[in-house]
Amino acid sequence: MADTNNTNPLDVNDGSDDSVEEIGPESVSQGVESTSTKQRKKRKKTSDVWRSFEMLPQKPNEPLYCKCKKCGTKYQAESKHGTGNLRRHRDACNNSNTRDIGQYMISSNNGVMATRNSKFSQETFREMVTHAMVRHDLPFSFVEYEGVRNFCKYLEPEASLVCRNTTKSDIKKLYAAQQKRLRDELLRCPSRICLTSDAWTSIVTDGYLSLTAHYVDSSWVLQKRILNFSHFPPPHTGVAIAEKLGELIKSWGIEKKLFSITLDNAASNDVCVELLKNQFRLMNSLVYDGRLFHLRCCAHILNLIVQDGLKQIDVAVEKVRDCVKYIKGSTLRKDRFIQICSQNLLDHKKALVQDVPTRWNSTYKMLSCALYYHLAFSHLSLSDSNFQTCPSSDEWDRVEKMCSFLKVFHDATLQFSGSLYPTSNLYFPQIFGIHLKLVETKDSPDEYMKKIATQMWSKFSKYWADFNLLLAIAVVFDPRYKFSFVEFSYKKLYGEGSSQLKKVEEALFALFDEYMQASQESSIGNVGGGSGSGDFNSRQASVGNVGGGSNHSILEEFDEYDNDDMDSNKKSQLQVYLLEPRTKRTSSINILEFWQSQQYRYPELAKLAMDILCVPVSTVASESAFSLGGRVLNEYRSSMKPDIVEAVICSRDWLFGEKVDTHVDVDKLTQNVMDMNIAEDKTEVTSSNKL
């Protein structure tokens, strides 16, 4: 095709035909216009098609020709002919498929050897570059590095790296395509969707809001997806958060598929949840009238409880801290301590841990390691006169009690903050263990431990009623515990006839009845809805009527007799499940695989189990998104626009997920959970989410 425009149509990223050259304006020599002599102003050929063709010398009074580098076929190269014919020949050239043996790869398919052509594709190459940049947090200027370009040219001469701006455009296109795919997946998933959300401040003080979805897919696998990492400038009031979350939820079209939302323990989030509840109640889209919609982050609550109890550290803990500081103070002391450990047959590789006073989990780790080396500390106090801070035997006993007390909270926090995001049935036994430990310790004869437990108990009892209902219902769907564990727990805590136990039982059966009713309404709506099922039912009825009307009336009488006989003993799916024997408690089972195998026996109950088990009890999923955001938006790329930040973070999560970080450091993942400031006499907890 001939180019009739003066503008440059050559663009390597455009698939249209490109012109070879064009006639430039008349040249001017020494200020005098020459009308007899005109010069051609040749323009640089930027089309990728010229890599496959070679220009031939132009003969007088003949058109300009070029030839294919592979097969030698000649084509006219004048601008009026364009490059469309050249491009078509390049794609169909026979010799390009057999230029050398290196283009063939040998593949094996069930032992049969076959040849496979490895024809280079520029589109696939650009897609792989985009994926690599998203996956490995590479800067956009990576594609412009001369060394990278030379490397790609060496591997494939036809490879062409684009500029950084084109790479941004490719990432946006990738984000849009994956967003559409995820939206369809969310709308098709059989379970309801649970959300977690949290706010974050970047290194340049830009506010962001993370929204994460948790659901069970059609294969009964628990999934986690970062839906949004949206720019959200302050102030982060409850009304502003509710408006932003409502806008994001509606943009995904999942407002009628929500089950719960998990937020941290901030006063603004309470206002936000009430506004969202009222909004979704009008759509009649919440289960159990939204009474289970809001769940407070259990990891934040536990951290709040422990920090409140450890405001005053015992002298024994201070001495252990001073011991660790003393040994880590010089290399000679470290070497001397290693020698003492060897003499006492202790493993010196289990290194001492220096705690951060504002993070109770690091204090627990310090005490745990110090207890292991307490004999070495005692030995060092005898041989080193400068070592005066070694705890006494009574103080070591108090340290052991403190360590045993904190271990329950530490183990629960690790499980709540698990990088694999376990199902919700695992949490009630942890909370019950903490409840029981606090009750036992606050009645302890040790005044220090009693004081700590009493302070913690007042805070724990304040939040216990908020999250025990949903977590207690979730443990019922674990065949190792069922409702028996809930009864056992409440009887252990409150005695016989507990009102708390009745609340759990009423909520459980009300939830199941709601799911049964929804299933019946769905079945009624489907009756006669399709011609195939209606025809099948009518054919079945006609078969049943064969033999005359009298026989039909007798069969109907038998049906009524059978139903009357069974009605008195008929039990619901939930009742049958609860009456069945429990699985051995110590057995290891995959709870989702169990309910997948039971979905045909208990269809409605399995649907309820699917929705309950995917409820997250912490906002660590959002905290992990902030950790990823800190790597994407660091001090070297602080000027990145919010839409690009969201495209990179979300695309990386959607494409690669947990494949990127296979070994997650729980300490780093829960850093924001631990770095919290307690406001006296307030319910709000502020998290220092700034990098």
Is residue 269 within 8 Å of residue 242, measured between CB atoms? no
The structure tokens listed for 676 are 């919290």
> How many whole angstroms separate alpha carbon 422 and alpha carbon 614?
8
269-283: burial string, b at 16+ Cβ within 10 Å, e else? bbbbbebbbebbeee
For 283-417, where are the alpha helices, taking DSSP H only?
298-309, 315-327, 331-343, 360-372, 374-383, 393-416
Alpha carbons 520 and 581: distance in angstroms, whole number: 28
Rounded to whole angstroms, how far apart are CA atoms 142 and 146? 9
pLDDT reported for residue 636: 57
Q: How far apart are CA 373 and CA 579, in angstroms?
A: 51
Residues 6+ apart with CB under 8 A from 409: 302, 305, 306, 360, 364, 434
The DSSP 8-state label assigned to residue 690 in this structure reads B
Q: Are 490 and 503 in contact (CB under 8 A)?
A: no
Q: Comparing C-alpha atoms, which of 200, 205, 203 is closest to residue 226?
A: 200
Q: Considering the entire predicted model, what is its pTM?
A: 0.73
Q: In the prediction, which pLDDT does 277 show?
A: 93
pLDDT score, position 467: 63
List the helix and strand counts (H, then E) for the chain. Answer: 25, 14
Which secondary-structure segment (H or E) carries 296?
Answer: strand 294-296
Q: Which residues pair with 459 in a beta bridge?
A: none
- CA dihedral in degrees (391, 394, 399, 400; nearest 10)? 130
The DSSP bridge partners found for residue 260 are 194
Contact 346, 380 (CB under 8 A): no
Which residues 6+ apart lie within 8 Å of 90 measured at CB? 49, 52, 53, 68, 96
Q: What angle do CA 143, 146, 152 make, to 5 degrees?
A: 65
> What is the C-alpha to C-alpha distance for residues 629 and 207, in angstroms, rounded to an integer?
11
Give every CB contact of residue 376 below 8 A, 6+ residues apart in sequence.
337, 340, 341, 344, 346
What was the pLDDT predicted at 500? Answer: 84
- Identify the bridge partners of residue 540 per DSSP, sorted by sequence position: none
Least Cα distance to 141 among 636, 677, 483, 658 occurs for 636
Other C-beta atoms lying within 10 Å of the C-beta of residue 23: 11
User: What pLDDT does 659 receive?
Assistant: 58
Neighbours of 667 (CB within 10 A): 14
Greatest extent of the chain over all pairs of C-alpha atoms, in Å:
117
What tens digit of pLDDT does each residue of 258-288 get?
999 999 888 899 999 999 999 999 999 999 9
258-263 and 294-296: which strand pairing?
parallel
* Phi-psi domain of 357 (left: phi exceeds 0; alpha: psi -120 through 50; beta: other): alpha
Helical packing angle, 447-476 and 499-526, nearest 10°: 20
Residue 400 in tokens: 């052991």
- Write out residues in the chain with pLDDT < 50, as ranges: 1-38, 98-117, 419, 528-550, 562, 564-568, 661-691
Residue with tokens 């950790």: 627
Sign of CA dihedral 445, 449, 451, 457: negative
User: Which pLDDT belongs to residue 533?
Assistant: 37
pLDDT at residue number 23: 39
Q: Can you say whether the dihedral through the CA atoms of 199, 201, 206, 211 is positive or negative? A: negative
Q: What is the pLDDT of residue 182?
A: 96
Q: How far apart are CA 168 and CA 141, in angstroms?
A: 10
Q: Do the bridges between strand 193-201 and strand 207-216 make them parallel or antiparallel, or are there none, so unpaired?
A: antiparallel
Q: Which tokens go with 313?
A: 């550290």
